[in-house]
Amino acid sequence: MQVLIYHQDAAQWRDVLAKRLPEAQFHLGADHGNPQVDYLVAWKPPASLFEEQRGLRGIVNLGAGVDAMLNNPALPREIPIVKLRDAGMGELIGDYVRYGVLHFQRDFDRYQRQQRTQSWREVPVVDKAAWGIGVLGLGAIGNRVAQMLAADGYPVHGWSRSPKQLEGITCHHGDAGLDALLGQVMTLVTLLPDTPATRHLIDRATLAKLPAGASLINPGRGTLIDEAALLDALGSGETDDEAHLRGALLDAFPQEPLPAESPLWRHPRILITPHMAGPTPIGAAADQVAEALGRLSRGEAVETIDPDAGY
């Protein structure tokens, strides 16, 4: 089997995949002039690559989010497309979310502000049991994150498009379910895929349904959030008085890197990280890629994405 790898660390992927699939021939992808191959293993490939490949029998997306792949106008949508499931990113993102939850629940944001004025003032702790957390998106990663937070002792509410039942999580679905969740959570975590149905889901109306003093953590996709609505909900953040939304920890943005002129960089109630919440652990991911390529080449069943649903 001939496999083309398109990724900024393509040589590293080739080395780990060659160990797992000794019978395959791997090629490092360029934007143009690649040999014809059977399978493409890629992250954000350019349209030119699809225009040139005429006999692709399957694609493996080297990430959990397939938005960039599906937004590619030249993508052959009729062939099997496999994405990485939770290859360890779930736990990394879970730790990122834990950091954010503790930042607000244990008042590190307030103490940071107090430090600027040498103010020594202890704030009473809100018990974990009274700190509901909402996880929007219960795919492999959202589920893992929800389980970690529940194990930490927080009441966790999960939300998905279709009904789900998960041990230890209060599950909600649909529009009515989203409203019910929003009213009960002090931290909202967004782990939904970027699809037409999720774009700007976090808008003025959604944010208004959160309790006053709630916080937002977005390790998912930047497109989920209406940025103007977020900034309004946060207020100026210049004084100690809190606006409706207490603060936000953001890892994903519609345009990355986040442009220097974005007001998000300078807002005192926003913490910014450079899309680092869930880097892909290459070993476990390579196991998944090798398994998918093996199954595809043997004509066996493999879990593919639904291009119309967008995940």
Hey, which bits of 161-277 come out as E strands?
A: 170-173, 187-190, 214-218, 245-250, 270-272
Q: Extract the tokens encoding 66.
A: 């397939």
Smallest gap from Cβ 63 to ligand GLV, in A, equals 3
Nearer to ligand GLV by Cβ, of 64 and 292: the residue is 64
Which residues contact ligand GLV by CB under 6 A? 63-65
Give the residue numbers marked as catalytic.
Answer: 221, 275
> Considering beta carbons, is residue 221 or 269 the nearer one to ligand GLV?
221
Cβ closest to ligand GLV, residue 45 vs residue 65: 65
**Looking at the chain, how many residues does it have?**
311
Within 8 A by CB and 6+ apart from 59, the residues are 39, 40, 41, 42, 69, 75, 76, 79, 80, 81, 82
Residue 242 and residue 283: Cα distance in Å, rounded? 44
**Which residue, 192 or 245, is less far from ligand GLV as judged by CB?**
192
Taking the complex as a whole, the smallest distance from the CB of residue 5 to ligand GLV amounts, in Å, to: 16
Terminal Cα-to-Cα distance of the chain (whole angstroms): 26
Looking up tokens 């880097």 gives 279
**CA dist 236 to 19, 206, 220, 224, 258, Å?**
54, 20, 25, 22, 20
